[in-house]
């Protein structure tokens, strides 16, 4: 069995870091003069995984592994490294798809059904293969989906490490946020205290939350620039900014990286040079998750059809407000609200909530078509498919549905996905 985190660090140090150096050196990469922005994102990603590796080697630190639907500020207040496990397979599939195959097969050989969400299968396979960080603990909940409730107990048993299960309400109103915030106070804080051997420090926690507020405001300001026609940045950059927030909200390094995104976008708007290397003809909303194994898909859409991705369900969030730092209760309620109101979390609620968010975002960013993906392992989006189609039909919104696997290109190869998208733009949109 390989050393823990070995394949992950091989990607970070052997592939992403040289790629960042190349982007900084070339001011005009293939998709415009965005090299310094993309390099900043890659630098932060590499630093994030190095921090996890450093925590593994430090007896005084722990690695907090958590799910999409939680945010990491509380973990950083305890000086933990943090790993969002739902992003972990995407990190690998975008750079080295062979790792994904290996871990999915390891899970299936252990008895995990092949129709289980590939994210959860990947996590189980990574656990069985010894890839996940040591010196760790898990925090999970009933959000964002049922698969995590199956996968995480397996992780706990195999790794023999502590796990906390939180009860995330199936609502995203203020009453639900207060209840969930109470869970963070009464259960999560004592749990992390026990795992780290550190007492909770409210002043340190407030510093982290205030830092995350600064990052959040930069994220919101950047997103506001994407309403401009044509929009600054290309599709992959727009997705990366929010992924950085989920990884590192509360860390000054994350704030500075998001400041690079924001400064670049606002400067382009101010100077009237938002047009990228390919003229913007269509403004696309991507419903549900994009493929992690084809990071060049969105630039390809822009080059081939002038189709710009403006908003997607993975890298967008409904909550557009800073966290109130006046009291412990207000901070925890704010964290709970951020988690419950993520677009991946709202898929657990009634379908009307998902449809409402989708249509509002479509109008907000001035989109003219939707591409909706049916991730084969996700029952939530499967159930909402008909409702999305009906809502688009009523409003005469051009819609393409693509059935694929979020992490595994063997279900639908990138060439096959691109062929479906090409048919859509050359027939429906023309």
Q: What is the pLDDT of residues 173-197, one digit of tens each?
A: 889 899 999 999 999 999 999 999 9
Q: If pLDDT is split at 50, 70 and 90, which confidence band does 419 have?
A: very high
Which residue has 């999970």 as its token pair?
Answer: 140
pLDDT greater at residue 417 or residue 26: 417
Instruction: Tell me the pLDDT tens digit for each residue of 323-362.
Output: 999 999 999 999 998 888 776 666 666 677 778 888 988 9
DSSP, residue by residue, 196-249: HT----HHHHHHHHHHHHHHHHHHHHHHHHTTSSSPSS-HHHHHHHHHHHHHHT
Q: What is the rounded CA–CA span in Å between residue 118 and residue 84?
A: 15
Contact 70, 141 (CB under 8 A): yes
Instruction: Tell me the pLDDT tens digit for each residue of 191-245.
Output: 999 999 999 999 999 999 999 999 999 999 999 999 999 999 887 788 788 889 8
Put the strands of the sheet holding 63-66 in their side by side order: 81-84, 63-66, 136-141, 163-166
Q: What is the rounded CA–CA span in Å between residue 250 and residue 258?
A: 12
Can you give the length of the chain in residues? 430
Put the strands of the sheet holding 282-287 in their side by side order: 307-312, 282-287, 369-375, 399-404
Looking at residue 430, its pLDDT comes to 83
Query: What is the average per-residue pLDDT within 287-309?
Result: 90
Q: DSSP E strands: which ranges in 7-94?
A: 63-66, 81-84
DSSP, residue by residue, 377-426: T-HHHHHHHHHHHHHHHHHT--EEEEEE-SS-TTTS-HHHHHHHHHHIII
Q: What is the rounded CA–CA span in Å between residue 239 and residue 246?
A: 11
Helices (H) and strands (E) in the chain, counts: 18, 8
Alpha carbon separation from 114 to 97, 111, 288, 361, 401 (Å, rounded): 17, 9, 21, 34, 22
């Amino acid at each position: 069995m390989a050393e823990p985190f070995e394949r992950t660090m091989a990607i970070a140090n052997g592939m992403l870091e040289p790629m960042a150096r190349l982007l900084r050196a070339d001011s005009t990469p293939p998709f415009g003069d965005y090299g310094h922005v993309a390099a900043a994102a890659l630098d932060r990603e590499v630093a994030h995984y190095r921090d996890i590796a450093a925590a593994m080697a430090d007896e005084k630190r722990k690695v907090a592994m958590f799910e999409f639907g939680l945010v990491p500020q509380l973990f950083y207040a305890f000086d933990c490294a943090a790993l969002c496990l739902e992003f972990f397979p995407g990190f690998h599939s975008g750079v080295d798809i062979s790792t994904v195959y290996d871990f999915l097969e390891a899970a299936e050989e252990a008895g995990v059904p092949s129709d289980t969400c590939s994210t959860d299968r990947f996590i189980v396979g990574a656990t069985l293969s010894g890839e996940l960080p040591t010196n760790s603990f898990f925090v999970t909940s009933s959000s964002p989906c049922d698969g995590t409730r199956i996968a995480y107990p397996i992780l706990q048993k195999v790794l023999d490490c502590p796990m906390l299960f939180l009860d995330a309400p199936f609502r995203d109103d203020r009453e639900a946020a207060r209840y969930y915030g109470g869970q963070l106070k009464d259960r999560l804080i004592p749990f992390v205290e026990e795992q780290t051997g550190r007492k909770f420090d409210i002043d340190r926690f407030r510093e982290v939350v205030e830092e995350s507020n600064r990052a959040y405001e930069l994220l919101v300001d950047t997103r506001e620039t994407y309403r401009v026609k044509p929009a600054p940045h290309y599709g992959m950059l727009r997705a990366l900014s929010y992924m950085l927030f989920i990884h590192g909200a509360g860390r000054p390094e994350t704030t500075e990286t998001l400041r690079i995104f924001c400064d670049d976008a606002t400067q382009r708007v101010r100077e009237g040079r938002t047009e990228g290397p390919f003229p913007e003809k269509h403004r696309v909303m991507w419903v549900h998750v994009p493929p992690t194994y084809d990071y060049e898909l969105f630039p390809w859409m822009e080059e081939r059809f002038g189709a710009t991705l403006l908003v997607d369900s993975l890298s967008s969030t409904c909550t557009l407000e800073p966290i109130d730092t006046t009291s412990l209760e207000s901070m925890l309620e704010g964290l709970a609200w951020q988690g419950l109101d993520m677009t991946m979390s709202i898929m657990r609620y009634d379908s009307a909530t998902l449809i409402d968010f989708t249509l509002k975002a479509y109008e907000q960013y001035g989109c003219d078509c939707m591409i909706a993906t049916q991730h084969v392992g996700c029952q939530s989006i499967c159930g909402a498919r008909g409702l999305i189609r009906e809502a688009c039909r009523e409003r005469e919104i051009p819609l393409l549905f693509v059935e694929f696997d979020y992490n595994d290109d063997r279900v639908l190869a990138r060439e096959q996905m691109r062929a479906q998208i090409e048919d859509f733009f050359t027939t429906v949109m023309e």
